[in-house]
């Protein structure tokens, strides 16, 4: 079994590798590599950076035998791509076919000014990992909405977080299918809150996770929890957000009236911002309001929020204790 895995590499060590970098709406650029098996993920990104100098690329894709796009974000996934390509080349040689270049498709991020990373400086260098991140299409359930899958792919493509740079510290809480940790981000020296969710959960919870990711990705407000990125590892997704050292409002008892006034203003401003994006929170309660020692109040937990498109919300969700009486009467 070990020889089968390494065989394609050994057979191709002396051959030149041609990588065809596909440029959206602009054709392609061929890159000749004389040491293909030793090629690193970072080497490919450096060349893509020369081909697309105005874009920031943190990953690229290739097509498998079924025409499906497979994302490469690390040296481990790079090795898998080369192994697949070399086995294809050997098959083409046996059949007397013309050898095709290895085609890759860069995944360019938004320009830095448009990213919602709240000033977090992240080193995007990804070293070898013992884990292999599956593609989104492999992880999402087959009956998930295509729109949500496409949106999630875009979010992950723009993210700059990976598990190798995260050091988990304390457990902050559990709920909604996952666990929230206080974590340290090594390259930036920042403290984060990381929600880790296993994907062997119900379809409804998976939809809530996708909804929360989409909303966090869209928002850029001082009254909404900051979003730094997300990544897949094996069968779980990790969502990295701003850490609020004061916790949620539900842990506090009696709050002075003048403080409540400031909290109310912050919450209303957060809800107003969401409404400007046609987003309805639908679960406003103390446990979904986070505070920090700087006196900031921010909304979080958008799992049951809805994005309105020329319609109104017709379903009743949320927490009964904080729901309007009129809504409870209609349930």
- Supply the residues annotated as catalytic: 283
Cβ burial of 122 (10 Å; 0-12, 13-18, 19+) is buried
Beta-carbon contacts of 119 under 8 Å, excluding residues fewer than 6 positions away, are none
Q: How far apart are CA 142 and CA 144, in angstroms?
A: 6
CB-CB contact of 225 with 197 (8 Å)? no
Residue 195 among known ligand-binding residues: yes
DSSP string for residues in 153-218: HHHHHH----GGGEEEEEEEEEETTEEEEEEEETTTTEEEEEEEEESSS-HHHHHHHHHHHHHHHH
Q: How far apart are CA 96 and CA 94, in angstroms?
A: 6
Structure tokens given for 207: 């939809």
Q: How far is CA 144 from the centre of its chain?
A: 17
Closest CA to 141 of 130, 133, 149, 132: 149
Q: How far apart are CA 212 and CA 216, in angstroms?
A: 6
CA atoms within 13 A of residue 187's CA, in its CB half-sphere: 13
Residue 151: other Cβ atoms inside 10 A: 18
DSSP string for residues in 235-267: TEEEEEEE--TT-BGGG-----HHHHHHHHHHH
Annotated binding-site ranges: 195
Residues within the annotated binding site for ATP?
195
């Amino acid at each position: 079994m070990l020889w089968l895995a390494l065989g394609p590499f050994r057979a191709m060590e002396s051959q030149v590798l041609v990588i065809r970098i596909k440029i959206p709406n602009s054709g392609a650029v061929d890159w000749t590599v004389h040491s293909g098996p030793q090629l690193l993920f970072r080497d490919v990104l450096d060349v893509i950076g020369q081909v697309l100098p105005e874009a920031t690329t943190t990953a690229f894709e290739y097509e498998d035998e079924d025409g499906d796009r497979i994302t490469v974000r690390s040296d481990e996934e790079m090795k898998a791509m080369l192994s697949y390509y070399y086995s294809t080349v050997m098959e083409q040689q046996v059949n007397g076919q013309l050898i095709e270049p290895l085609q890759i498709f860069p995944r360019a991020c938004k320009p830095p000014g448009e990213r919602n990373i709240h000033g977090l400086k992240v080193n995007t260098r990804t070293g070898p990992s013992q884990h292999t991140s599956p593609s989104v299409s492999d992880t999402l359930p087959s009956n998930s909405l295509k729109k949500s899958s496409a949106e999630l792919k875009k979010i992950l493509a723009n993210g700059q977080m990976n598990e190798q740079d995260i050091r988990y510290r304390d457990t902050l809480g559990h709920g909604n299918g996952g666990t929230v940790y206080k974590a340290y981000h090594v390259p930036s020296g920042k403290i984060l809150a990381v929600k880790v969710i296993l994907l062997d959960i119900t379809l409804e919870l998976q939809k809530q996770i996708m909804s929360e990711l989409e909303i966090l990705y869209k928002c850029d407000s001082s009254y909404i929890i900051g979003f730094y990125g997300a990544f897949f590892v094996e069968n779980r997704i990790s969502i990295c957000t701003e850490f609020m050292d004061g916790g949620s409002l539900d842990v506090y008892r009696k709050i002075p009236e003048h403080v409540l006034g400031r909290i109310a203003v912050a919450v209303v401003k957060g809800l107003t911002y969401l409404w400007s994006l046609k987003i309805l929170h639908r679960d406003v309660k103390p446990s979904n309001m986070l505070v920090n020692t700087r006196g900031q109040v921010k909304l979080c937990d958008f799992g049951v929020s809805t994005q309105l498109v020329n319609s109104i919300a017709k379903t009743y969700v949320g927490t009964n204790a904080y729901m309007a009486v009129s809504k409870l009467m209609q349930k």
